[in-house]
Amino acid sequence: MESSKLLIALFVVQVFFPCHMSIQAAPENSDLFREYIGAEFNNVKFTDVPIDSNVEFHFILSFAIDCDSTSCSSPTNGKFNVFWDSDNLSPSQVSSIKSTHSNVKVALSLGGDSVGDSYAYFDPSSVDSWVSNALSSLIDIMQEYHLDGIDIDYEHFNADPDTFAECIGKLVKTLKNNGVISFASIAPFDDDDVQSHYKALWQSYGDLIDYVNFQFYAAFLIN
């Protein structure tokens, strides 16, 4: 997955948008490190990453995308496929890293920037059909990979903010209510269109969001 932007920093913060007034319970361990892994297909394994036993550590598999397995030019309306490096980040490897390190949890991230030359658009046919397809496909993936949580990282949209909020909010609510996931996060960045979609989600379903991964990008390359 290619991106024209260079990710230079990722701060995991638990914050509240000004428009949302509810208070979330503090986590048992406020020391948290999160690592996105698998998008670059550079053979990185869980065991290649140093893990501090004194912090809660989240690996986030990047990405699950609702488009066909070869190109995002054909969105699939919530029918998600695995687009991370599943050869090196397999279900057995997820089980192994979690059994070796009791402080490790593993999540998957939805969306991302692109597959090849095609952007990964959030492009639902309707709220109900997207949520139904997403639940069916994601529960299968999460159970196969023994996952704990979900991260929302859509960056491109063919739907208005309210539709995005309803689709993602209903998805997260159902997954939590059925014990499929124990946490959910969102990953906005400094872009007006992106922030309008995530703010709509926060306004309606902010009580379901446990973490905000605010991403910082720069449009330059480091030699």
Residue type, 33: F
Residues in a beta bridge with 151: 109, 185
Q: Which residues are catalytic?
A: 155
Rg (CA), the chain: 16
Pairing relationship of beta strands 211-218 and 6-13 according to DSSP bridges? antiparallel
| Torsion sign across C-alpha atoms 25, 28, 33, 37 | negative
d(CA 80, CA 111): 10
Q: Is 13 exposed, middle or buried (0-12, 13-18, 19+ CB in 10 A)?
A: exposed
Q: Write out the H or E segment, with its range, that includes residue 213.
A: strand 211-218
